[in-house]
Structure 1
């Protein structure tokens, strides 16, 4: 067993715990990211707004991946019916 395989085996239980915490507290973390982005943007007087927004978006995407919120995008067998009925002919 290689070093990376050994490391993956040991970190596997921690991944489940982190995922659970991300699901429970994801909204709080995302609120904190927004708040921090606003403070940094104010301190830099808007000079780096585009970079701050980009970084915030990437951090939120990472949180969603940790919380497994985007499971249906991975090619799952889920089907969402349309909200409106088809037109009658």
Structure 2
């Protein structure tokens, strides 16, 4: 998809969401519960992840840039996390 189209769709979504955040989040929750009930919870982890993503989009639809989650520090014996430095002795 061209970037301009994505930005246009995001702008339209932000406009539609404005003032209706809680109703939309309630709908997201009900839709996920419906899917879980129809699939016997077989895909509950994926449904929950989709619900979180959709709710996060609604929360961040005010036009502010989303903040990246904090990276976890490197633990000895595990591959290092790019961009994260760990101080000796920690």
Q: Where does structure 1 lack aligned partners over 5 or more consecutive residues?
A: 75-89
- Does 2:26 match 1:45? no
TM-score, structure 2 normalization? 0.55
Q: Which residue of 1 aligns with 2:16?
A: 21
Q: 2:52 aligns with which of 49, 57, 67?
A: 57
- Distance in 1 between the 2:32 and 2:43 partners? 10
Which 10-residue stretch deviates more, 35-44 or 20-29?
20-29
- CA RMSD across the alignment: 3.1
Going from structure 1 to structure 2, the CA distance change for 1:48 and 1:18 (only over 3 Å counts) comes to closer
Whose helix fraction is larger, Structure 1's or Structure 2's? 1
Describe the SS at the equivalent of 1:34. helix
Is it true that 1:35 corresponds to 2:30 in the alignment? yes
TM-score by length of 1: 0.56
Structure 2 regions of 5+ residues with no counterpart?
A: 68-90
Aligned residues: 65
